[in-house]
Amino acid sequence: MSFLEEANINQMVIDAEIQGISEHLFQEWMDSNLDEGSFYADYQFAVMCDSKEIKQAFNQFYDLKEDDDHYVGL
């Protein structure tokens, strides 16, 4: 059980803090991936996304076909 479940804190305040933490962690993750280069960062982002549109855009941008190593499956 988390202290947040017992604390008398407005849920909107908790949600705002969670959003801020999520954005911070995402930025750190992207910065870490960019240390490896923009292709690697793009690839990691595309792999983690659920969006078929993003995966398709990644494959098209890098001209990847289904038999290529870094092709991101839809």
34-48: pLDDT as tens digits: 999 999 999 999 999
> Between residues 60 and 6, which one has the greater pLDDT?
60
| Residue 6 confidence class, pLDDT cut points 50, 70, 90 | confident
Rounded to whole angstroms, how far apart are CA atoms 62 and 55? 11
- What confidence score (pLDDT) does residue 2 get? 85
- What confidence score (pLDDT) does residue 74 get? 84
**What backbone torsions phi and psi does residue 22 show, to the nearest 5 degrees?**
-60, -45
- What confidence score (pLDDT) does residue 35 get? 95
Question: Whole-prediction pTM value?
Answer: 0.78
The set of residues, in sequence order, having a beta carbon less than 8 Å from that of 49 and lying 6+ positions away, is 55
